[in-house]
Structure 1
Amino acid sequence: MSAGRLAGRYSLSHPLGAGGMGKVWLARDEMLHRDVAVKELTVPEGTSDRERAEAVTRAVREAQATARLRHPGIVALHDVVVEQDRPWLVMELLRGRTLADAVRDFGPLPPAHAAKVGADLLEALTVAHSQGLQHRDVKPANVFLTDSGRVVLTDFGIARQEGQATITAQGLMIGSPGFIAPERLEGHPGGPASDLWSLGATLFVALIGRPAYEGTVADRVRATLTRPAPAVPGPLGPLVTAMMQQRPEARPEARVAIDAMRQVAAGGPLPPLPVGAAAAPRPARGGGRVALWMAAATAVVVALAAGGFFLLRGNGGAPEAFTAPMDVCALVDSEQVGLVLRTQSPPTARPGSDGDGPTCEWTMPEYGVGVQVQKDSDTVDPWSMTPATARVLMENQKRYWSRHDEIRWSWPEIGVPGSQEATRLPVHDVQGLGEEAFGFELKGSTGRLLSSHVFYRLANLVVKVEYATVADRPTDEDIKQAALSVARASEQALRDAG
């Protein structure tokens, strides 16, 4: 590839999103004069030859799986290009937002809308199942709601063809905890009914606004294996409960579920569901695998009770992975906040969350500090990241910010209510912070700095810190040092917790 062009045909414009093993670009097909989406496979530095080969195999498998399917509810694959020793997937460009983003931004869907989404998705899945293909990662982040009204299932990267050998190591959990059917957690290969369970978990989020099972990875796994899904109010409730039955044979047939959802989507009541063994107790199955998962879940619970964090450590004593959720607001104490905000009465911490991960902000007139523990679009939460995926996320963030010079910036809580134009100054490496770090500043129309941003990686976590002010008193150097001091304080808090 040269000058942002693939195969002499596809001109890359800018990133649309990034995940643990890839980045999606907006591109232009110069031959057919149309916009397309190009998925770039990114493999972190230090990856072994075997892991690199498996990543490439996964991307090729996604291409093969998707190319065989023709349905409005499945993203269309146009081309596969191999350059720089890796494949690039050229797909149709979808304009809209994911179901995860829609629920986050606008709240739960009305039952009729959720029913329409569910029916469209299940019809797409039925097409895949008819060709012996399981999706295995149905979740809100992989459901795209286009501006034209289509409901599209994306990311067949871990799809599995019946009879096809797995490319993953034995015992590796494939999928997103909380959206993986119980039988697959127990080590069974699953089948169409497993995707149906995942769709039920996805509809739970669409209707309620949160997952059926929350908490750490271990919490979600344990709850999936031992507890029925919570009841969902409204006309779709009985169907979602039936779809999330723990025994695959107790779940409804796909056509029954589709017809029921179509009736609710049209404004009618949910028709009676066939009476089966849905209420029967679930027999024990795969005892060894269940015991292993339960032991892991218990270990995490014990570690949480002991200290609030659960870390895996390497031989050198540095943390290898933070695997339990933490209070982001606890990463910076009030004394440090008061110091950088130039006040003896620090503002109250305000926790929050967006699609990039949990946040905490401290704001007052003219001054603000923000901290975020980030995740990529393929991972359910930051604590599920691995050092390898965190390295890719850092790489992608640095590349992204290096490409964008003009920024629309606002922070209403400190006195910037509208979208203000700002210029990004050069991205630069930051030494002595985490295992890798970079930063940049934003300059306003007056020529003074508005904010300083620092990103650093420690083990499997990527942390973003921002300090901003519209006051005249702090110098540009003060602003840079304030952001850096908050970043160092948060890093120390993480290390102390370990």
Structure 2
Amino acid sequence: MSAGRLAGRYSLLRPLGAGGMGTVWQARDEMLDREVAVKELTLPEGMSPKERSDSITRAVREAQATARLRHPGIVALHDVVVENDRPWLVMELLRGRTLAETVREFGPMPPDYAARIGADVLEALCVAHAQGVQHRDVKPGNVFLTGSGRVVLTDFGIARQEGQATLTEQGLMIGSPGFIAPERLEGQPGGPASDLWSLGATLYTAVAGGPAYSGSAAQRVRATLMEPVPVAPGPLGPLLAAMMAHHPSARPDARTAVDALRQVAAGAEAPQLPVTQTVTAPTKVKRRGGAARWIAVAVAAVVVVAAGTTAFLFLQGEDDGVPSAFTVPMDVCTLLSSQDVGGVLRTQNPPEGRPDGDEVGPKCSWPLSGSGVGLQVQKDSDTVDPWSMSGDSARRLFQNQKRYWTRFKQISWTWPEIGVNDSRKALRTPLRPIGGVGEEAFAFELKGATGRVHTAHVFYRLANLVVSVEYSTLANKPTDDDIKQAALRVAQASERTLRDAG
């Protein structure tokens, strides 16, 4: 990257999200004078040459698969740049929110609205399937709803093209538990009907407000393979159950499903499906040992596939009291007690937590005039929410955060709720590893024009969660060390709450 530009053309403006495969940036194409999204692939340290090669191959495959597709329901790929020994994907910039974020914030969708989304996504999938491309990771987090009403299918990062060898070695599954079709869990490559199943599971989440199969990764795999297909509430229930039939041949064809979805979107009832497309449990198919194998792998490894949907049970694991994974969604504002907040802010009347969130994850702040505490549980851009992160994803995200913050020595800082309404320049102190919190942690501070520290940050990882903590004060009395210790105490208090919940 030269002169602050990628390929001398793309200026990176700000990060939109960090995932296990890297960081997505909002950028400007200086040549065409337009804003774009740039996906930067960053590889974790300690990878073997084969793992590095596979990661790069996966990114290049995303480019190959997406570049062939032209449809308003598929995110457009503009360019691929190889620089700094890694590929950068230049895509159209979408503004809005994912289906997962929408359901999480507003709850179940009206059936007609969900049906329109489903029809739009399925028509986009039909375009991909016609060109021999299977998406393989259709889920709420990969369906984007723009402010203009456009429905866009994103992230063809694990797409499979007919006639092309799969990225993964035999026996390794890629996808999101609860959204992977049964035949793919059994080790088959799948096909268009597998994407249809995943779309059915996605729309189930939309109309029910939660996933069809909940629990740990292993429990979701087991339920997908062994349990009867659940029926969602409302007029879409029978159609979605048909789309999620255990055997591919029992599912409706894409055109039939699109027509049925369009009818529901128009306010009519879903048409009666042909008798052969039963929504009850189909005839048993040969398992080839796949179910037992995948369940065993998921139990042993906790998550062998990319975590995909909100789950509702803890996975207890380590003897030191740390769960293998935290999978119960928690109100972030409950991670600190009023005593914790009052002690750090030095007040007997601590403020109530103010819940918020962004593309990085849910957060909460406790602001007073002149000081405040902030806390966020983070996720990568490939995962629905922090509670669906795997341990490996959390480790990669933690390392990506370290790399991200080392890039910026001067930071524009503002916090209107504590009285900093204008943007102020702050200098970042060097990142340093710290102990006493989490399984790994680092910290840094921000200094103002006087050279005094006014803000301290702590990032720590506990199992599959990455937590960031911020403490700021405008007062002159606390020393720099006081401010550092205050942020550390906040981090330790939040960790205690997580461990107690686990």
Provide TM-score, normalisation by structure 1: 0.83
Question: Deviation at 1:255?
Answer: 0.4
**Matched AA of 1:247:** H
Whole-angstrom CA distance in 2 between matches of 1:240 and 1:272: 13
Q: Which moved more, 1:30-39 or 1:465-474?
A: 465-474
Give yes or no for the alignment of 1:437 onto 2:442. Answer: yes
Whole-angstrom CA distance in 2 between matches of 1:215 and 1:347: 35
Pick one of 412, 415, 418 that aligns with 1:409.
415
Which residue of the partner structure matches residue 304 of structure 1?
none
- Residue by residue over 1:122-173, the C-alpha shift from the partner in whole angstroms, topping out at 9 and shown as x without a partner, is 0110111112211000111111222332211111110011232111122222
Whole-angstrom CA distance in 1 between matches of 2:355 and 2:315: 18
Whole-angstrom CA distance in 1 between matches of 2:224 and 2:115: 23
> 1:140-155, aligned counterparts within 5 Å?
140-155=140-155
Which residue of the partner structure matches residue 107 of structure 1?
107
> 1:81-480, aligned counterparts within 5 Å?
81-276=81-276, 277-295=278-296, 310-311=316-317, 322-325=324-327, 339-340=343-344, 342=346, 356-357=360-361, 369=373, 371-382=375-386, 385=389, 389-398=393-402, 400=404, 403=408, 405-409=411-415, 424-433=426-435, 434-441=439-446, 452-458=456-462, 460-467=464-471, 477-480=481-484
Question: Deviation at 1:380?
Answer: 4.0
8 Å CA contact 2:238, 2:279 repeated in 1? no
Q: Which moved more, 1:467-476 or 1:433-442?
A: 467-476
> 1:33-72, aligned counterparts within 5 Å?
33-72=33-72
**Matched AA of 1:194:** S
Pick one of 483, 489, 499 that aligns with 1:485.
489
Report the secondary structure of 2:28's partner residue.
Answer: strand
Give yes or no for the alignment of 1:23 onto 2:28. Answer: no
8 Å CA contact 2:186, 2:291 repeated in 1? yes
Report the secondary structure of 2:65's partner residue.
Answer: helix
Question: Deviation at 1:370?
Answer: 5.1
Whole-angstrom CA distance in 2 between matches of 1:334 and 1:465: 16
Whole-angstrom CA distance in 2 between matches of 1:393 and 1:180: 24
Whole-angstrom CA distance in 1 between matches of 2:168 and 2:366: 43
8 Å CA contact 1:243, 1:252 repeated in 2? yes
**Matched AA of 2:93:** L
**Matched AA of 2:316:** F
- Residue by residue over 1:31-59, the C-alpha shift from the partner in whole angstroms, topping out at 9 and shown as x without a partner, is 33322222111111211111110011111
Q: Which moved more, 1:468-477 or 1:379-388?
A: 468-477
- Give 5+ residue unaligned stretches, structure 2: 303-312
Q: Quick one: structure 1 residues 427 and 99, their matched pair in 2 at CA, closer, same or farther if it must change by over 3 Å?
A: farther
Q: Quick one: structure 1 residues 16 and 161, their matched pair in 2 at CA, closer, same or farther if it must change by over 3 Å?
A: same
- Give 5+ residue unaligned stretches, structure 1: 302-306
Q: Which moved more, 1:47-56 or 1:6-15?
A: 6-15
Report the secondary structure of 1:405's partner residue.
Answer: strand
Question: Deviation at 1:29?
Answer: 2.3
Whole-angstrom CA distance in 1 between matches of 2:476 and 2:466: 31
Report the secondary structure of 1:440's partner residue.
Answer: strand
- Residue by residue over 1:82-124, the C-alpha shift from the partner in whole angstroms, topping out at 9 and shown as x without a partner, is 1122221122222222222222333333322221111111011
Which residue of the partner structure matches residue 11 of structure 1?
11
Whole-angstrom CA distance in 2 between matches of 1:198 and 1:410: 43
8 Å CA contact 1:368, 1:469 repeated in 2? yes
Whole-angstrom CA distance in 1 between matches of 2:300 and 2:86: 39
Whole-angstrom CA distance in 1 between matches of 2:446 and 2:215: 35
Q: Quick one: structure 1 residues 335 and 106, their matched pair in 2 at CA, closer, same or farther if it must change by over 3 Å?
A: closer
Whole-angstrom CA distance in 2 between matches of 1:375 and 1:389: 9
Report the secondary structure of 2:116's partner residue.
Answer: helix
Question: Deviation at 1:438?
Answer: 2.5
Report the secondary structure of 2:268's partner residue.
Answer: coil
Which residue of the partner structure matches residue 305 of structure 2?
none
Q: Which moved more, 1:217-226 or 1:382-391?
A: 382-391
Question: Deviation at 1:334?
Answer: 7.9
Q: Quick one: structure 1 residues 96 and 335, their matched pair in 2 at CA, closer, same or farther if it must change by over 3 Å?
A: closer
8 Å CA contact 1:441, 1:450 repeated in 2? yes
Whole-angstrom CA distance in 2 between matches of 1:88 and 1:308: 36
Question: Deviation at 1:447?
Answer: 11
**Matched AA of 1:36:** V
Whole-angstrom CA distance in 2 between matches of 1:351 and 1:408: 18
Whole-angstrom CA distance in 2 between matches of 1:220 and 1:352: 29
Report the secondary structure of 2:73's partner residue.
Answer: coil
Whole-angstrom CA distance in 2 between matches of 1:408 and 1:179: 40
Q: Quick one: structure 1 residues 257 and 54, their matched pair in 2 at CA, closer, same or farther if it must change by over 3 Å?
A: same
Q: Quick one: structure 1 residues 346 and 24, their matched pair in 2 at CA, closer, same or farther if it must change by over 3 Å?
A: closer
Q: Quick one: structure 1 residues 425 and 465, their matched pair in 2 at CA, closer, same or farther if it must change by over 3 Å?
A: same
**Matched AA of 1:128:** A
8 Å CA contact 2:245, 2:282 repeated in 1? no
The percentage of aligned residue pairs carrying the same residue is: 64
Q: Quick one: structure 1 residues 492 and 60, their matched pair in 2 at CA, closer, same or farther if it must change by over 3 Å?
A: same
Q: Which moved more, 1:175-184 or 1:226-235?
A: 226-235
Report the secondary structure of 2:289's partner residue.
Answer: helix
**Matched AA of 2:279:** A
